[in-house]
Structure 1
Amino acid sequence: MQIENSRDLRWYAIPDDRFRRHGLPACSHGYSRLPMAARAAVPQAVAEQSQYAAGARLRFATNSSRLVLRCQALSKSKGHGIDCLVDGVYWKTLLLSRGDLNDVMVFRDLPTEMRSIELYLPHEQEVDVCAVGLQAGADIAPARPYRDDLPLVFYGSSIVQGAGVNLSCMSYPAIIARELNSDFINWGFYGAGRGEPEVIDLVAGCPAKAFILDLGKSYGIQPADVYLRMLKQLRQAQPAVPLVVITPVFSSRECFDSGFRTRTQRTRQIMREAVEALEGVLLVEGETLLGERDWPGLSPDGLHPNEKGCAETAKRLLPVIQAFYC
């Protein structure tokens, strides 16, 4: 990619090792969560959702007084954008319309001092960050290292991917990872998180600190042995890595739709029985993370938690995950 620098702005084409990418375990280029070969081997819905870089981040430190991104949206915006955190503090969200390459100002005229930059890519839009523009002569350094080389690996449904939040940096996996200063990988695939063996092969191929499985209601009406097979597949691939199973959180629809309530209760029971059948798997009841009395103000639709709902989920789940670092 040909990039022209100006007298006061220097462009750095991505990929560049000085701007570290995280949350993209299977790709050497681009921002898809699956490489092309893998997309051909998984269900179409998984392949489509993998184009949205949920959990993907660019991290670096710089003393530049100005930060500009050269980027392109390859799909329509759904109200989410690139979230920018400066020294761990939310700065702004860059909303991108589908179309040509654009240079988007993140900040300008800040004091010349080293600060940490973390850019979260949108969880429901396909984008390409092609280059980073910094003040000419600015220093670039690695971001603060994570506490562990191994990431937390989250697999599951729409709630994992971030449905219900506007800010991609506020999914509950992202909140937990920041709280623990941990890397993480988001394998949430909306309603397509169903535990297929070919998908679990990819999940199991990620060296992990822990696997957190939150399939929620995406599991659907499947035989009980599908869930147990998924757990065994992960255990066989990485025997020493903790497995955490989260049953579906409460949904307000359970109050009004008896069929939906019955299916949800059946899914919870399937997950409990699978955990009982395999030694050493941790069970977290989703209703202890978000229960019937928690939903007012914590969800836009009674099904997916918003930013406050994800913050509450992360707060309640954090002690379970934190124990893996002791």
Structure 2
Amino acid sequence: MNLKLQNILSKFEKPNRSYMQTKYLLIIIALLSSLTGLKAQQVISSSKLTIQGRAFPESPAFHRIDTAKYHNLPPAVKNLYTHGAGLFVTFRTNSTQLAIDWETANAALGNNSTAIMSRGFDAYVKEPDGWRFAGVARPNLKEAKSSFTMVENMEKTEKEFLLYFPLYKELRSFQLRIDEDATFSPTVQQHDKKIIVYGSSIVHGASASRPGLAYPAKISRNINADVINMGVSGNARMELAAAQMINDIKDVDLIIMDCVPNCSPQQVTERTFAFVQELRKAHPNTPILLMESIIRQIGNYNLEWKKKRYEQNANFKTEYERLLAAGYKNLFYLPADHLIGDDYEGTVDGTHPTDVGFERMIKIIQPEIEKILQQ
């Protein structure tokens, strides 16, 4: 018998136990019996894992960049780069369950996002035909600290897991819990290409239902590319400091500029040429794909939004043509036509794609990426 249980029982081993003593004894026995039925677990510290999906391996904590190093970035941009969008870890284990304990900066949620996307995790398992969804970690809605069993009752065979970080929060800490007798080994993915996606909240991940369904993450799995999510919700305004930060990223095969939604029509005109010009200082031959803003369905009846979106894209196309005329090569342009479909059902709020909207975007963006990379 468990020593702790023996010690407790010994206190009640008197022939004249009172009714209340007997009652408490029965309650304790029931509680301890239920606890002994729980599986023992081993805890895996996050320090044993390699954080992947970020531009700079030396970035502190679970941040996408070292915000102290890039001090010229606007404060809001630096704060957003503490979010874990696009970051992930991979590992092998034969555990029959996978649980996680974690803490985010706070428990607040956006009004157009799911809690799982913003503050949770999702897990995938590698199969011969690619990564297959396995489970999610649902966050505590009131506290910054959360615990959740992502998947359980699995076969005791070794599997490779991919675990995506929360998209819209700074992750402060996490640890995994697996079977006590399970094997565990961290892994690092080998990708065919490296792609940088600089953009707005749509790149950041709003409003996917879970982290792995943001379009950079899904394209990464589809084509085995290291797709670096440099989305900064509401703040992708083509500042030169952002281009200079991107210039420090090495061995880039493609840069995607999906930043028009956050720029005013005037900013598009004033900043596009200079932004590309700055990128060319460190990436003279790297292909750059310039993407128009999606057609915001909020502009179906709001004439101001409709006018703004039209001017943003028209000005972007003009700047693209100016760049070509100035002799810049390896520039590609993707119009917004049909990006989220034509039935007006691709967004959660008239701007940010749902999973359906993202899937429609991927069907247009991914072939363009593959075509560029083949060239």
Query: Normalising by the residue count of structure 2, what TM-score does the alignment of the two structures yield?
Result: 0.77
Deviation, 1:99, is 4.1
Q: In 2, Cα distance between the equivalents of 1:31 and 1:285?
A: 34
> In terms of mean alpha carbon deviation, does 35-44 or 168-177 score higher?
35-44
SS in 1 for 2:47: coil
Q: Is the 8 A contact 2:135 2:151 kept in 1?
A: no
SS in 1 for 2:51: strand
Counterpart of 1:244 in structure 2 is: 289
Counterpart of 1:11 in structure 2 is: 43
Q: In 2, Cα distance between the equivalents of 1:29 and 1:68?
A: 25
Label 1:321 to 1:286 Cα distance change in 2 as closer, same or farther (>3 A).
same
Q: In 1, Cα distance between the equivalents of 2:94 and 2:304?
A: 57
Counterpart of 1:64 in structure 2 is: 95
SS in 2 for 1:37: coil
Q: Deviations over 1:116-168 (max 9, x none)?
A: 211111111222343223334433345573332x4211001011111122211
Counterpart of 1:4 in structure 2 is: none
Deviation, 1:324, is 4.3
SS in 2 for 1:321: helix
Counterpart of 2:211 in structure 1 is: 168
Q: Is the 8 A contact 1:152 1:182 kept in 2?
A: yes
Q: In 1, Cα distance between the equivalents of 2:148 and 2:93?
A: 18
Aligned mate of 2:329, from 271, 279, 297:
279
Query: Normalising by the residue count of structure 1, what TM-score does the alignment of the two structures yield?
Result: 0.88
Identity of aligned residues (%): 21
> In terms of mean alpha carbon deviation, does 209-218 or 132-141 score higher?
132-141
Q: In 2, Cα distance between the equivalents of 1:10 and 1:28?
A: 28
Counterpart of 2:183 in structure 1 is: 139
Label 1:137 to 1:323 Cα distance change in 2 as closer, same or farther (>3 A).
farther
Deviation, 1:191, is 0.9
Q: Which runs of 5+ in 2 are unaligned?
A: 1-38, 110-114
Q: In 1, Cα distance between the equivalents of 2:223 and 2:46?
A: 27
Q: Deviations over 1:191-240 (max 9, x none)?
A: 10001111221122222221111013201241613111111111221122
Amino acid of the structure 2 residue aligned with 1:290? I
Q: Which runs of 5+ in 1 are unaligned?
A: 1-6
Q: Is the 8 A contact 1:117 1:143 kept in 2?
A: no
Q: CA RMSD in A?
A: 2.3
Higher Rg: 2
Deviation, 1:281, is 0.5
Counterpart of 1:3 in structure 2 is: none
Counterpart of 1:48 in structure 2 is: 79
Counterpart of 1:300 in structure 2 is: 348
1:216-231 pair list within 5 angstroms:
216-220=260-264, 221-222=266-267, 224-231=269-276
Counterpart of 1:121 in structure 2 is: 165
Q: In 2, Cα distance between the equivalents of 1:181 and 1:241?
A: 19
Q: In 2, Cα distance between the equivalents of 1:69 and 1:11?
A: 9
Deviation, 1:113, is 1.1
Amino acid of the structure 2 residue aligned with 1:259? E
SS in 2 for 1:191: coil
SS in 2 for 1:287: coil
Label 1:40 to 1:96 Cα distance change in 2 as closer, same or farther (>3 A).
farther
Aligned mate of 2:242, from 199, 203, 210:
199
Label 1:177 to 1:294 Cα distance change in 2 as closer, same or farther (>3 A).
farther
Label 1:261 to 1:231 Cα distance change in 2 as closer, same or farther (>3 A).
same
Q: Is the 8 A contact 1:172 1:310 kept in 2?
A: yes
Task: State whether structure 2 residue 297 is matched by structure 1 residue 258.
Answer: no
